[in-house]
Structure 1
Amino acid sequence: MSVPGSRRCRNTDRILWSTYGNEHRHAALARLESSDDDTRRLTMGSQLTCQDEKEKVLVHERGGASNYELFYDLWFVANLNTFTSVHEITDKGTLFSFMGYVLLLWTTWFLTTIFDVRFGVDGTLQRITRGAHLAVMVGFAEAGSTFNPDAQAQPVFQAMSLFLMVSRFSLGLQHAIFLFRNRGRLEQKRPLVLSILFHSVFSITYFGVAFYTNQNPRDNVFTFWYYASVAELILHTAHAAWSRPLTLRGTHISERLNLLTLIILGEGVIILAKKVAVLVENTWIKDSGTNWSPALVGIIASAVALAYTIFQLYFDWMHEDGGSGEIAHYLWVMVHLPFHITLVLLVEGGNQFIVWRRAIEAIDSAAETLSSAAAKGFHQQLPGAAAAPVNTSQVVGALRGPVTALLSAYRPENETETWAQVREAFDNMAEIPDAFWGVYEELPRTSLAKQRWLDSLSTIVSAVFDGISSAFDIHEAEDEIPEPGSIDYVGTSFSIMTSQPKTQDRDFDLRSTEAEAYVATSMKFRLVFVYAFVCAGIVLLLLHTLHLLSQRQRWTPFNAFRAAFGIMVSIGLSLVSLVALSVDQTTRFLMTPWQLPIIAMCYFVCLVLTYLPPLKDLVVVRKITNWLDYRNEKKQTGDPHALV
């Protein structure tokens, strides 16, 4: 069909059409023939643009996400929430597997989304393929509950690879359907054929990996998923950037990424609510007799403030159309992958500081209870009489009641095994002769009786502390445990480390045993401390990167200063994790309530700088400047009051 007018685009039958139904296409073509607009812009629920003769592009543009896209996001939310609930980060292996799962989930979501934002149309075959994508999300839910490369459930890992294969095959099929239905109107078929080829190659590859994992169950072949996902992201983003018909510019991909950011922040809010529920359960419901301390309330407020501040920084700094230029836009899209992964880790780890603070307060209270009970056994005396000699049965009886009460309130993770160990410890302790207490200081540490006392005491104290840790979802970690007596406790704030017996009598190494058990407990949290601060710095750095890529106005020196200051703050936050190189300093820092408030305050400073006007625009500075100008003017006119 020809179109009159020398400046109009010809050969419109070869434009890359979005499959929107015959009636819509015929009506649009009729309006196209009668149009005198030199830009040849069609709007039919979608905005369709005619480019130059060589590269014509027509992608399906809408004002917002479709109902299907929002429904698909619900499945992403469900998978993310389920995975973060069941996947505890206890060592480096589980940390990397956490990141790997989020990488696979995010990449699958992204590849599906970029098809929908460009060619998202309705139809029977399209609905069938969309059903396949939802089935893939079910596969992620199945794999998420047992996604641990160090303890591979082989059928699950094989199924995961098959689900990835189905996802890429469905995407290739969707592109093929689009190509077939518009075969008479496509000027540039090569970009679509190339996309089909990409998806087909990765689909076949994932299919092959599925059977390789079945034959080699202990190989680290699952790492191929990670490399392949990153390669797919780079490949399809670069293809969209260099292929005009498949461009992401002008689509609502920015809105989709913004919605995904909201989803992840919402996941952080869900985790925060769950942690508060754990606090309530282990405080008032168990009638522990203690209230929330001001420090704990401050940490909860910091968690809320951090989530709200990240929300404001992201949406205040972002432009609705993404990156400012062609290359900047695609970089802006790709930066969202590391941004979202680190943001998930930040909201997951940051909220852990809430339960950690309450746990160490409970541990400190339990240590005081054990010390008071033991003191009664150590220093029994009758009214009006001198102190009686220490008796083994009195010590065992004084400790047994509080230990039983604490283990009943804070049930250990392996309850049966722990109770058996505690009973054995009390039995061993009961065999200590009464004469032992009178010569305790003279006995070497290697003596049988002293070893029996210290080992039994360590077992009991560790069982109580482990029960409290388990109640607050702080699980065992593979980390370095310091040697006894290697930690300097001077200047710390907790009575476990600082309190001495209220009398000058001996405590028979009870306090030192409690201190060593506390340090062993704190080592469970060192990994959380490290990745929370590293991710806090990376998230803030990537927020500034996204802001730089979407910036459309000319940068002033003050804007450059604010950006440089924020980048330095982000680097400083990540460097705080270096404290973990010293077990001594890590333990001392974890005793303070300042971990989460420090992160929240750094983000808040960057938010304040965002709304702070340039120095010359501040009211005080303007008044001082006006006063100085007025004074200089009076000096020049010889006014005797100029110096007043």
Structure 2
Amino acid sequence: MSTSQLFRRRQSAHDGIRRKTVRWIASPLESSSKTSGEYALSSGVDHKPAEETDNQSISDRSSLSDDELPHFRHDHESSKIELFYDLFLVANLTSFTTDHEIINGQSLRNYVGFFAIVWFTWLETSLFDVRFAADSVFTRICKAIAFAAMTGIAACGANYNTGDVSEHLRTFRSLSIILMCSRLALAIQYIVVLLYVRKYPRTRVPLLSTIATLFLSAMAFLGTFFAFNLNDESTEPDRSTSHSGGPPVYISHYIIVCVEAIGVITISCIWRSISFKKTHLVERIGLLTLIIMGEGIIGITRSISKVLQNSVNTSGSVFGITISAVLLLYFVWILYFDQIDHDRFGTIRQQVWAILHFPLHTALILVSEGNATLILWKVIMRYLLEAVRVESVATHDMANSTNDEVVEYLQEKLETFTHHFKHETLYRLGVENFVNDSLSDIRQISANDSSGRDEYIGEIRDSMFDLVFAAFGIEVDEGDATWEPQLGIFWTVLYYYYIAAGVFAVLLAVLYWFGKTKKSREEWVSIVLRLVVGIGLCTTTAALLLSDTPSTSGFILSAWTVTVIMLAYFVIIILDNLLDAYANHNSARRRSSYVDTNRRARDEQVALAKATKADVTAQGESIKLRLLEASAVEQADRQTTEDPQSSRSFSTQDASKSNAVLPKTE
């Protein structure tokens, strides 16, 4: 076989068909040549809108009268480019969570603030995409700007620290410019939409208002750029505040993104011509919820990896708390998606429902992070308690023992303690050399110098603390590797974990109310159930703060810290299903009663009709009988008058004939 034959191009039915080229700019309106509901694949993106005509320009787009509203083409599912944009949000969350662990109130505020900037930036882009996005070169360029903005925000996130703004002024100034550029790009996209629908008067005011809102927010971000003054870098450390001594400048970022989002949502609520009706906004918000749940799963696996990489032996309680954490996220998925009913969303309710997801997602991401952190701290607290017990025995129980006896005890316990960790970790931290030196120093101490011996024992305990924290990646300051400061980290995690879990349940109740119109009695009970559980979980935090009993301490150090929330959510799911079963049973019973009533009514109507027919027949027969009798009497009277002799015989014969002719009646 020759080379030309081997690579010969075969003819096929698809010869001459090429991929459709992407237009430079595309209209957000439906094509006038196609009916609504008829869709075709757009080129390069997994949209399913009506295919627009190739030779249609902006000036020829509107053929309807000025009194009619434009028909925007809406996708029924997220496009591939929207899903690709979501990946940048995932990257932001993952990188920021890795670089900024929540260890105190300041880091918690820092985390929530950065999440607000990322979330509202994603929301503004999605609010445009679900209503007006159409595949074109211009749209892809704008998407590239959105990708660059998300990448820039992620880069700023590495040094985003609201607790020390003076050291990262360039980061905050760069963030201001990035946010400004992203809003200007969105404003330009809205301007293009306005050009296409300029012949529809009802869309001019809302689109112009949206453009003005985005432009004003962009200028506000530009103002924050100058508010972070680089000339002050070498002066006072507290340069995060404004020159007038007011609140910190970075807070303006949070205010701007919130006001901007509320403004855009309010405009779409007032002017229904650009509302989110028949869009896939609910699906977009649901996908973002899944992404945040996925971030929680990543956190769980990260914690498990740290435990398995640095620890040799793991207790059953660690596996128990891990299973509870996974089940908790699964129950969150059930609670959230089972209560969404697409057919019962109102136009305005849908938009309020969407923006309420910011506090919901904030609570969800804190629950997810608390899940992962408590798995790690379960192991850490186990080792810290063991170190404290070793110190307590060596210091108090063996106070009258000799130095050699104390050293022998410490050697035995330290050998057992170090066996919990891998040799690579011990070698990397140099724990063995430090412990051996401390034990040698204890031997050389005078027998009467109990305070000196206790000091060395305390140093050994501190080295055990150092080993635990360093092995599991917990950052500690030099000289602060003691029980109290690190316990503060654990308490911080525990507090925000329970508060976030309670707030999440309360917000589920609020979203349940917004997401369903004409609620049944059972649905109201479900709303109240979520409120009760949410308030109960928040109250648990207050109980942990006020209570200082052995039972409380035992609960805090056990795997029940995660299991309690998991069981609380599980109770909601069980009761929800019981309420649904009860409602369905009542509905079926009402339908059955209705069918039985209708059947009885039909039977009664049929019986009445039959009875009426029988009565009519009987009345007819009676009339007929009376007529025949009257006729016979009349004929007999005539014959009697004509022939009295034969009247008696005629009457007898006529009576017999009449008895033979007339039917028998009962």
Q: In the alignment, is residue 261 of structure 1 matched against residue 289 of structure 2?
A: yes
In structure 2, the residue matched to 1:101 is 114
In structure 2, the residue matched to 1:603 is 569
Aligned mates of 2:28, 2:371 — CA distance in 1: 53
Map 1:375-524 → 2, pairs under 5 A: 390-392=401-403, 395-396=406-407, 399=410, 403=414, 409=421, 429=442, 432-434=445-447, 436=448, 449-476=449-476, 521-524=486-489
Is the 1:143–1:160 contact (alpha carbons within 8 Å) kept by the matching residues of 2? yes
In structure 2, the residue matched to 1:226 is 254
Flag the 1:214–1:358 CA change in 2: closer, same or farther, 3 A: same
Alignment match of 1:44 (pick from 40, 50, 71): 50
Aligned mates of 1:23, 1:552 — CA distance in 2: 30
Q: Which moved more, 1:205-214 or 1:598-607?
A: 205-214
Letter in 2 for 1:301: I
Q: In the alignment, is residue 546 of structure 1 matched against residue 476 of structure 2?
A: no
CA RMSD of aligned residues (A): 4.0
Q: Shift of residue 150 of structure 1?
A: 1.2
Aligned mates of 1:195, 1:163 — CA distance in 2: 20
Map 1:323-362 → 2, pairs under 5 A: 324-362=345-383
Q: Which moved more, 1:408-417 or 1:595-604?
A: 408-417
In structure 2, the residue matched to 1:513 is none
Letter in 2 for 1:180: L
Aligned mates of 2:510, 2:302 — CA distance in 1: 32
Letter in 1 for 2:374: F
Is the 2:96–2:158 contact (alpha carbons within 8 Å) kept by the matching residues of 1? yes
Aligned mates of 2:328, 2:335 — CA distance in 1: 10
Deviations 1:447-480 (A, max 9, x none): xx444333332232133124213323445599xx
Is the 2:26–2:136 contact (alpha carbons within 8 Å) kept by the matching residues of 1? no
Letter in 1 for 2:31: R
Aligned mates of 2:492, 2:340 — CA distance in 1: 32
Alignment match of 1:82 (pick from 88, 91, 95): 95
Is the 1:118–1:248 contact (alpha carbons within 8 Å) kept by the matching residues of 2? yes
In structure 2, the residue matched to 1:205 is 220
Aligned mates of 1:524, 1:601 — CA distance in 2: 25
Q: Shift of residue 607 of structure 1?
A: 0.4
Is the 2:181–2:218 contact (alpha carbons within 8 Å) kept by the matching residues of 1? yes
Aligned mates of 1:31, 1:277 — CA distance in 2: 49
Deviations 1:23-81 (A, max 9, x none): 9735249999xxxxxxxxx98269x9999965724333111111111110111111111
Q: Which moved more, 1:121-130 or 1:419-428?
A: 419-428
Aligned mates of 2:464, 2:547 — CA distance in 1: 22
What secondary structure does 2:228 align onto?
helix
| Identical amino acids, percent of aligned pairs | 26
Q: In the alignment, is residue 555 of structure 1 matched against residue 577 of structure 2?
A: no
Is the 1:60–1:117 contact (alpha carbons within 8 Å) kept by the matching residues of 2? no
Is the 2:28–2:133 contact (alpha carbons within 8 Å) kept by the matching residues of 1? no
In structure 2, the residue matched to 1:625 is none
Is the 2:505–2:531 contact (alpha carbons within 8 Å) kept by the matching residues of 1? yes
Letter in 2 for 1:562: S
Is the 1:241–1:327 contact (alpha carbons within 8 Å) kept by the matching residues of 2? yes
Aligned mates of 1:460, 1:43 — CA distance in 2: 70
Aligned mates of 1:415, 1:540 — CA distance in 2: 44
Gaps of 5+ in 1: 1-18, 33-41, 380-388, 437-448, 482-515, 623-644
Alignment match of 2:181 (pick from 166, 170, 173): 166
Aligned mates of 2:187, 2:216 — CA distance in 1: 10
Deviations 1:571-595 (A, max 9, x none): 0001111134348356443222211
Q: In the alignment, is residue 27 of structure 1 matched against residue 49 of structure 2?
A: no
In structure 1, the residue matched to 2:634 is none
Q: In the alignment, is residue 243 of structure 1 matched against residue 266 of structure 2?
A: no
Gaps of 5+ in 2: 1-24, 39-47, 53-60, 233-238, 242-247, 589-666
Is the 1:474–1:524 contact (alpha carbons within 8 Å) kept by the matching residues of 2? no
What secondary structure does 1:351 align onto?
helix
Q: Shift of residue 282 of structure 1?
A: 3.0
Is the 1:466–1:521 contact (alpha carbons within 8 Å) kept by the matching residues of 2? no
Q: Shift of residue 570 of structure 1?
A: 0.8
Aligned mates of 2:576, 2:37 — CA distance in 1: 47
Flag the 1:281–1:192 CA change in 2: closer, same or farther, 3 A: same
Q: In the alignment, is residue 536 of structure 1 matched against residue 551 of structure 2?
A: no
In structure 2, the residue matched to 1:300 is 322
Letter in 2 for 1:244: R
Flag the 1:226–1:520 CA change in 2: closer, same or farther, 3 A: closer
Deviations 1:193-217 (A, max 9, x none): 2211111111111112112213354
Map 1:568-607 → 2, pairs under 5 A: 568-582=532-546, 584-585=548-549, 587-607=553-573
Flag the 1:270–1:424 CA change in 2: closer, same or farther, 3 A: same
Flag the 1:62–1:31 CA change in 2: closer, same or farther, 3 A: closer
Deviations 1:499-540 (A, max 9, x none): xxxxxxxxxxxxxxxxx9656543320000000000000111
Is the 1:164–1:203 contact (alpha carbons within 8 Å) kept by the matching residues of 2? yes
Aligned mates of 2:179, 2:406 — CA distance in 1: 62
Q: In the alignment, is residue 134 of structure 1 matched against residue 157 of structure 2?
A: no
Q: Shift of residue 406 of structure 1?
A: 5.2
